[in-house]
């Protein structure tokens, strides 16, 4: 887990009422901003992060020291131009980079651990709306997100339609499929099978369920890349050797890659947060939230929508975006849609896809 660092936070003034019926008290939202807010307070863009993302959108990550996760997209003169826009990115509740989550201290003085309430994507957005209120931003120029960030953008548009003028949803979906749920359940079972998980109570000195969390991350990484992308990147190439070892070391490059991704992840992420956030994603079903008809989710919206999918994304394939576009059309919303060709699978939204840069810039304008 993350060592100590001091994120910028905003404390919500009252308890957060959750979809479960529970209320979460003393909620803090950790966030970063880039670019100046103008006097009319109408040039703000909220970027929502994905499952294991965080608020360090365009600045160095305090734990890993790596550049911000969307530096290619956000900055002066870039597609989301911080010379013109005030860009906000906040850690979602349930996560572990400074916003209230399972590792946070509960009112009784001990970490929440599994006493943290199960949250939904809409609950995460409730936290974000609380942040916007605290920052006195009534209406966003745009809300933008990829993957789970796209779910949040959709949830904001559906439930707080007056809060954003533009909604940009990249590589996302209106609900998790059985296969999506299956992969997440696999990850959760890997974490919970780790004896170090201890029912979630591992925040002392005894060691965290890193082995289980690493396996969960490996499973997720397989879903983030396309089969062609994996073949192109690794094929059957061996790692630092001329011949197979006839052992169980990482003979193949793809094995070495997965092990590296798994173990690196445990240094920056909390296993309980992984449980809670994957659960929220699995629960996400925008149509169900709105009486069973997806178009009804957008009935109150006057925002402009843009949806982007990638042809190699098998986690949230193009059909999911098309399904959303049909619903938006049925609701009479202004919606554009493009499927981009990129070899990187679901991860394309984070990677070098110049066509995406142009779509984002054009839609944000």
Give the catalytic positions in this structure: 147, 313, 346
Any idea what DSSP says for residue 247? S
Binding-residue total with a second copy (CB under 8 A): 56
Q: Please identify which residue in 198, 252, 295, 357 interacts with a second copy, judged by CB under 8 A.
A: 252
Q: Please identify which residue in 108, 246, 291, 292 interacts with a second copy, judged by CB under 8 A.
A: 246
- If one asks whether residue 224 binds a second copy (CB under 8 A), the answer comes out as no
C-alpha span between 171 and 359 (Å, rounded)? 13
- If one asks whether residue 281 binds a second copy (CB under 8 A), the answer comes out as no
C-alpha span between 227 and 250 (Å, rounded)? 19
- Closest CB 184 distance from a second copy, rounded Å: 9
- If one asks whether residue 351 binds a second copy (CB under 8 A), the answer comes out as no
Token duo for residue 348: 């394309």
- If one asks whether residue 154 binds a second copy (CB under 8 A), the answer comes out as no
- If one asks whether residue 219 binds a second copy (CB under 8 A), the answer comes out as yes
Q: Please identify which residue in 106, 118, 299, 351 interacts with a second copy, judged by CB under 8 A.
A: 118
Nearer to a second copy, 71 or 288 (CB): 288
- If one asks whether residue 250 binds a second copy (CB under 8 A), the answer comes out as yes
- Closest CB 89 distance from a second copy, rounded Å: 27
Q: Per-residue x/- marks for a second copy, 260-279, CB under 8 A?
A: --x------------x---x
What would the DSSP string read from start to end of 74-127? EETTSSEETTT-EEEEEPPTTSSSSSS-TTSBPTTSSB-GGGSPP--HHHHHHH
> Is 46:128 a contact under the CB 8 Å cutoff?
yes
Greatest extent of the chain over all pairs of C-alpha atoms, in Å? 67
- Closest CB 173 distance from a second copy, rounded Å: 12
Query: 195 in the Ramachandran plot: left (φ > 0), alpha (ψ -120 to 50) or beta?
Result: alpha
Q: Please identify which residue in 86, 141, 166, 176 interacts with a second copy, judged by CB under 8 A.
A: 176
- If one asks whether residue 201 binds a second copy (CB under 8 A), the answer comes out as no
Q: Please identify which residue in 26, 78, 139, 259 interacts with a second copy, judged by CB under 8 A.
A: 259
- If one asks whether residue 17 binds a second copy (CB under 8 A), the answer comes out as no
Q: Please identify which residue in 194, 289, 320, 347 interacts with a second copy, judged by CB under 8 A.
A: 194
Q: Which of the ranges 8-16, 47-55, 172-180, 329-337 carries the binding residues for a second copy, by CB under 8 A?
A: 172-180
CA 247 to chain centre: 37
- Residue 188: C-alpha distances to residues 150, 184, 223, 275 (Å): 22, 6, 15, 6
Q: Which of the ranges 88-96, 99-107, 149-157, 187-195 carries the binding residues for a second copy, by CB under 8 A?
A: 187-195
Nearest to 150 by CA among 47, 279, 261: 47
- Residue 9: C-alpha distances to residues 33, 106, 249 (Å): 11, 17, 44
- Closest CB 186 distance from a second copy, rounded Å: 5
Find the angle CA(70)-CA(191)-CA(317) to the nearest 5 degrees.
Answer: 45
């Amino acid at each position: 887990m993350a060592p100590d660092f001091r994120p910028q936070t905003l404390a919500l003034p009252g308890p957060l009422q959750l979809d479960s019926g529970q209320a979460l008290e003393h909620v803090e939202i950790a966030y970063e901003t880039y670019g100046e807010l103008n006097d009319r307070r109408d040039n703000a863009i909220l970027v929502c992060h994905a499952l294991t993302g965080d608020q360090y959108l365009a600045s160095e990550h305090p734990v890993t020291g790596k550049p911000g996760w969307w530096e290619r997209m956000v900055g002066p003169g870039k597609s989301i131009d911080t010379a013109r826009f005030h860009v906000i990115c906040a850690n979602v509740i349930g996560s572990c980079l400074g916003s209230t989550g399972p590792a946070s201290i509960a009112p009784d003085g001990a970490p929440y651990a599994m006493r943290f309430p199960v949250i939904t994507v809409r609950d995460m957005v409730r936290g974000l709306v609380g942040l916007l209120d605290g920052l006195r931003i009534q209406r966003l120029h745009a809300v933008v997100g990829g993957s789970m960030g796209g779910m949040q953008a959709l949830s904001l548009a559906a439930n707080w339609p007056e809060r954003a003028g533009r909604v940009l949803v990249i590589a996302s979906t209106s609900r998790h499929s059985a296969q999506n749920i299956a992969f997440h359940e696999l990850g959760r079972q890997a974490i919970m099978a780790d004896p170090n998980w201890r029912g979630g109570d591992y925040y002392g000195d005894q060691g965290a369920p890193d082995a289980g969390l690493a396996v969960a991350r490996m499973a997720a990484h397989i879903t983030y890349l396309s089969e062609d992308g994996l073949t192109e990147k690794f094929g059957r190439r061996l790692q630092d050797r001329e011949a197979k070892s006839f052992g169980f070391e990482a003979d193949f490059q793809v094995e070495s890659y997965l092990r590296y991704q798994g173990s690196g992840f445990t240094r920056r992420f909390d296993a309980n947060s992984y449980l809670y956030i994957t659960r929220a994603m699995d629960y996400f079903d925008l149509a169900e939230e709105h009486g069973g008809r997806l178009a009804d989710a957008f009935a109150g919206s006057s925002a402009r929508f843009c949806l982007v999918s990638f042809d190699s994304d098998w986690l949230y394939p193009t059909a999911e975006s098309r399904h959303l576009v049909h619903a938006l059309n049925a609701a009479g919303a202004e919606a554009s849609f493009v499927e981009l060709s990129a070899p990187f699978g679901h991860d394309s939204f984070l990677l070098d896809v110049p066509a995406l840069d142009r779509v984002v810039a054009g839609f944000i304008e």
